[in-house]
Amino acid sequence: MTRFSSALAIAEAIRTGKKSAVSTIQETLNTLRTQDNDIRCVTHIFESEALEQAQKIDAMRQAGHTLPPLAGVPFGVKDLFDIAGHVTTAGSIVLRNMPPAQKDAAIVQRLKAAGAIPVATLNMDEFAYGFATVNAHYGTTRNPHDPARMAGGSSGGSAAAVAAGFLPFTLGSDTNGSIRIPASLCGVWGLKPTFGRLPRAGAYPFSASLDVVGSFASSLDDLITTFYVMDGSSPAPEPAADTLRVARLGGWFASNLAPALGAALDRVCASLQATNTIELPEVASARAASFLITAAEGGNLHLPRLRKQAEEYDPATRDRLIAGALLPSSTYLQTQRFRNWFRQKIHEVFQNTDVLIAPAVMGEAPLLDEPTIMVDGKPVSARANLGLFTQPLSLPGLPVLCLPLKNTGTLPLGLQLVAAPGREAALFSIARALKNSGLAGCVPLPEKELA
Amino acid sequence: MTAPSSDQENLVRARATAIELELSPTCLPGVLRNSALLAHYAKLVEQHPLPDTCEPAYEYVP
């Protein structure tokens, strides 16, 4: 069975001949076809292309060639990554008549060069504008831990496919939290690398100032291995965890936490001997700036189509994009000036700290039929507020690893580990220490969801 | 968020006209709601004083 296998275990089985790439891909395709009815994370399956690539890998092995590191490993992509020969729809019907992509997205090319095989596109909020993966065109992706609850978004299909054990790793994108929120709600590892580090070529844009491509994985080693493949670099040495200066983010990031999340955060900080608490300045404005930049850039991007075919958009997406397109230029420019101010403050923080710890989402996944969360004692829209802790950290473009907490006695909860730009290796070191201490790891599905 | 006033509706309509965007009756309530939310966020950013030397982050490097 390939279900719930890690990418590295699958690659090892194929490399040593315990399993063929073709049988691995056949099993994966069968899982996607038969097990996704309750989750609905898959939007398209690349059956013939995937099997063709698998046959080439088996032929390479039979010919005695050395296989690349991810040979035969299946993966899925958020429905905004170009796959050659396929129309990239970005979770919408608006682009359905566009020509097929001429080539694969840049990070897909790098993964394929390492032997990995894209097998499916995965559901998302239309044009990545949302935190729920409730899609008027392609349906709602449900949380594998409890199908009555949100998977989170906008990369919800990618997180759910890993949580359900369908795929060992998947690709997503994060503008305001679209990797970190579904990773947290689905209990899997997620990585939003430093802004600008991974190439975005072939990923359908949303907000050029904030968009980052990244990944989800069921194991930390898979997350790290696939990151360096996508980065086109050799793995950097991880600094020893006990040499890193770790602090907890307070103030904005210490309010509105579910009790189990607060307790887990305390355990994590105790394990790392992180006694310092740091408050970032003007967090509410940083979140607002992120929100406004996204709205203005998304609205501008879609304005030509909104003039002609607004009725084809999901009404909720359409109204958000139009409101963004109507923002005055002075407001947009002020947010971009604020961004530079905030960047300077963030760099000051990292002069004395290596890794910051913050909650990813305030609690468990909201119910789909009651999509509210509590903020400052009041029920508010989950779709608008799940990014409370992720949006302020989007603005400075920092690398953030979303870490699934273990043994919380609840549905999945996640933390954000945040480092200075380009210091992903520090995140990997702290994440590894927490995994080794039993505090972090992909959250297994309850028995009833596996039946 | 309070209900949008007719002034807000007029402002949104004028801005839409300025960018040659027709607002259909079905989208108007949602656009007004979202515009009010963005105006709230704009106040949060605009209340923060910035020196004249603070430039927009056009070529942003984290």
Q: Which two tokens stand for residue B6?
A: 């007719």
* pLDDT on residue A446: 87
* Residue linked to tokens 């369908």: A166
Nearest to B27 by CA among A320, A270, A205: A320
Model confidence at B3: pLDDT above 70: no
Q: Which of B24, B33, B57 is nearest residue A336 as measured by Cβ atoms?
A: B57
What residue numbers bound the domain in which A355 lies?
Answer: 1-279+351-451
A445 within domain boundaries = yes
- Residue A89 covered by a domain: yes
**Whether A334 contacts B51, CB under 8 Å:** no
Domain count, chain A: 1
Nearest CA in chain A to B50: A338
- Percentage of chain A beyond pLDDT 70 is 99
Does the residue A195 lie in any domain?
A: yes
Contact B45/A341, CB-based, under 8 Å? no
CB contact under 8 A, A337 and B38: no
H-type alpha helices, A386-423:
391-394
pLDDT for A227: 98
DSSP E strands in A233-361: the ranges are 246-249, 276-278, 355-359
Residue A409's closest CA among A263, A289, A277, A216?
A263
With beta carbons less than 8 A apart as the criterion, state whether B42 and A327 touch: yes
Please list the active-site residues of A. Answer: 78, 154, 178
Q: What is the mean pLDDT of residues A364-384?
A: 92
Structural domain includes residue A12: yes
Report the run of H or E that residue A135 belongs to, with start and end. Answer: strand A134-135
Q: Is residue A2 part of a domain?
A: yes
Measured from the Cβ of residue A16, the count of other Cβ atoms closer than 10 Å reads 10
Place of tokens 């960018």: B19
Percent of chain A at pLDDT > 90 equals 96
Residue B60 has pLDDT above 90, yes or no: no
Residue A12's contacts (CB-CB under 8 Å, 6 or more residues apart) are: none
The residue of chain A with its CA nearest to that of B32 is A323
CA distance A146 to chain B (A): 31
Q: Which of A302, A311, A312, A326 to probe by mutation at the B interface, max B CB count within 10 Å? A: A326
For residue range A95-132, list pLDDT tens digits in order: 999 999 999 999 999 999 999 999 999 999 999 999 99
Alpha helices in A217-282 (DSSP H): 220-231, 259-271
Residues in chain A: 451
Q: Which residue has the tokens 């694969």?
A: A104
Which residues are CB-neighbours of A65 under 8 A, at least 6 positions away?
Answer: none
Task: Note whether residue A214 is domain-resident.
Answer: yes
Chain B residues near any Cβ of chain A (below 8 Å) = 12, 15-16, 19-24, 26-27, 30-31, 33-35, 37-38, 41-42, 44-48, 50, 54-58, 60-62
For A312-363, write each residue's pLDDT tens digit. 999 999 999 999 999 999 999 999 999 999 999 999 999 999 999 999 999 9
Residue A311 in any domain: the answer is no
The ipTM value here is: 0.91
A401 occurs within a structural domain: yes
Cα separation, A80 vs A72, in Å, equals 23
Residues of chain B with Cβ-Cβ distance to A306 below 8 Å are 21
Separation in Å, CA of A214 to nearest CA in chain B: 16
Cα A173 from Cα A86, distance rounded (Å): 19
Burial of A199 (0-12, 13-18, 19+ CB in 10 A): middle
Instruction: Say if the Cβ atoms of B45 and A320 lie within 8 Å.
Output: no
pLDDT in tens, A215-247: 999 999 999 999 999 999 999 999 999 999 999
Is the CB of residue A352 less than 8 Å from the CB of residue A245? yes
Q: What is the DSSP string of A65-124?
A: PPPPTTTT-EEEEETTB--TTS---TT-STTTTSPPPSS--HHHHHHHHTT-EEEEEE--
Task: Output the domain CATH number for residue A27.
Answer: 3.90.1300.10
A189 touches A183 (CB < 8 A): yes
CB pairs < 8 Å spanning A and B:
119
Residue of chain A nearest B42, judged by CA positions: A331
Q: Report pLDDT digits (tens) over A288-305.
A: 999 999 999 999 999 999
- CA separation for the pair A135, A323 (Å, rounded): 20
pLDDT average, residue stretch A265-289? 98
